[in-house]
A and B are shown apart, each in its own frame.
Chain A
């Protein structure tokens, strides 16, 4: 069986998430899909899974075109996507999850529990999971849940299994077991599309490789042609388009704007570091390396367990977000929709949600001053469209990010330490460069200490003065960005690293 995608294009407003992408996956092969965040991998797998309808293009199974683009059609065509956020129901047991929506019944109503258990046991044996099918899914580890999800897909006759960064959250042993399973399924004639950041996995598992960049196919090869990790690194990062912009120079003798000493929280630290005014520091590492945790702890979202935080040389309290803000520390969270935006509220309200209190007189808003703040900051960040009244949810990802940056860095804010968590997640390529420019300029103009958590080498290169490599909640290496390259950074975490338990 061959599933193929031809000329697949997905347009979001003025952004092309996928630009005539083609791909072919056949039974009994592991096809690796590589690319940076935002390269179009997740849009592509969502199209295959039926979660997103492409703007144009065709998907076929053995030459027969998909009749429509929805999850039902994809399942009927044997396509199963195992997303990173698994779709199992914690409160049901394994057997119930496996049969959800396809229950075996007596006389159309009464569940046949005996048959459920027997069939479930068979499915679990196939994925090598030795657990009682009556166990609640909520009690399983992430690795076990993933296996249940694979079993569920197989039970529904999946012939193309799409795995979205399946090892990202697994321990080393679990990841190894998963690799064995993938090879076993391949031997059984299942087609596997394997999305990953880890090049070691590609070398070990893949038969063919497709690399996406900026929504386009940029590289394809059969692994039997003697592909090396260096080839993959080069294909993913691509030729750097001319000279990449670098951050503005900083005064070497300045007092640090932010100092952490022996700083630690749940799963991170102890970490000691200084950031000078105007300096941009990258925390670089894979998902789960503790980058996000460090920022959330520093902002008071997670509890601090040890050490001190000083802003401009003064030790500050940051036990809650409100206190962190008073200490002039601000966070632009990685999950914009959940932790940042007020989706149905206007761009103006979103921008001045904190500033409006400082501008108000006698408890009454100073709307004129708020407008001035919005006007200046939206010009400064080239917000598009520049509209006060449009709800924040209606802006593109890049412009939502600008609104959130503007919330903390505007004419009336006193923020000294700006924490950016994965700032270009879900931001298209054009807006990405603009956000880098804005952050570089703001850092220099206002003497901000900026910490950027990222897993994108290009982001480190375009933004940071210094780069700290994180692994298992600790800083394992410091890198002078001026003397490194994106390729070296990519190789550093993606080739040598083992997944963090």
Chain B
């Protein structure tokens, strides 16, 4: 079956309506501000986006398979504080600090995974509990926080390779790996199968517990890594402030990117678009001199609008597919 370039384009736009908005927004801002959206400015947007993307990748996969991880904001803090404890004064081993941050996150992920997949607790509730508990754990670990970590560790936060921030490269690599995983491995397809119809997946011999379990562990590890990057950038690790509300930012980006909250649908390309849209929207409003209060209003409304448009397009798509099916059936 051959599809013309035009059809492909239409299908692509139907699947990612936000991409159109994104492009329109960038062009409009360029015109309105006289090209203030330059590379240094964009680099800041990308760096913010990278931290969100790293956590949003496994987060989106969890939602696709019908689960959710709300604990990532606190897990980020735990990871950040762990790295900070090793690096304080700039004498520790940066690699060890990053691994320890990931390890701390993995522990949280193991807990979430066991409780939700093997004990069958609702993931929304279980990880909501973890959100509070892990925040407390981070504060217990280092009540006053840590700071001044040295340049070697700081490289993770502010350093660049060929002009691109390290964190952005990490996020890009993870994003590509995740997209390949979802498309080209049986386990990747099973992520969707579990989200679409868990019962049918179980009856088809899919391991309906192990896959979400592993995703929870990865989600925890990713949040830990994001914590290390964040404290490296800040050069301090305040356990009470790190990643507060971060889980909702991640969720907003994922949903903006067209991942369906009830599971079964979504893509890594969508996550990329969602993260970029969120960052560029706030950046555009800043460039236009809009206060942060109004930025919050705009971001919230954008989410609601995006979900509304998404639902509408879903209906249109189903009609197109039905018509297509009827046509194909008649040809046969």
Contacts and interface: CB of A to CB of B under 8 A. Distances in A.
A345 B185 contact: no
Contacts of A407: 204
Contacts of A333: 203
B321 A339 contact: no
Interface string B305-332: 0000000000000100110111011111
Contact of A390 (B203, B206, B264, B325): B325
Interface stretch (A174-182, A219-227, A357-365): A357-365
Contacts, number: 101
Contact of B330 (A14, A340, A344, A394): A14
Given A353-B206, A363-B185, A367-B184, A341 B200 contact: yes
A338 interface: yes
Interface of A: 13-14, 299, 301, 321-322, 325-326, 331, 333, 338-345, 349, 353-354, 356-357, 360, 363-365, 367, 384-391, 394-396, 407
Interface string B182-225: 00111101101100110111111111000000000000000000
A390 B328 CA distance: 10
B265 interface: yes
Interface residues of B, number: 33
Contact of A321 (B185, B196, B197, B203): B203
Contact of B204 (A321, A326, A365): A321
Given A365-B184, A365-B186, A390-B321, A13 B329 contact: yes
Given A390-B324, A394-B321, A394-B325, A363 B187 contact: yes
A92 B330 CA distance: 48
B206 to A, nearest CB: 7
Nearest to A14: B329
Contacts of A386: 328, 332
B186 A340 contact: no
B186 A357 contact: yes
B321 A365 contact: no
Nearest to B326: A13
Contacts of A325: 204-205
B151 to A, nearest CB: 39
Given A342-B192, A396-B329, A321 B205 contact: yes
Given A360-B185, A367-B184, 12 more contacts: A339-B200, A341-B200, A342-B197, A344-B264, A345-B264, A349-B192, A353-B193, A364-B184, A365-B186, A385-B332, A390-B325, A395-B325
Contacts of A363: 185-187
B1 interface: yes
A354 B1 CA distance: 25
Which applies to chain B's interface (DSSP): helix, strand, loop or mixed?
A: helix
Contacts of B326: 13-14
Nearest to A342: B196
Contact of A365 (B185, B318, B330): B185
Closest 4 interchain pairs by CB? A385-B328, A384-B332, A342-B196, A394-B325
Contact of A394 (B189, B205, B207, B322): B322
A341 B198 CA distance: 10
Interface in B142-197: 184-187, 189-190, 192-193, 196-197
B329 A331 contact: no
B199 A339 contact: yes
Contacts of B203: 299, 301, 321, 331, 333, 339-340
Interface in B224-240: none
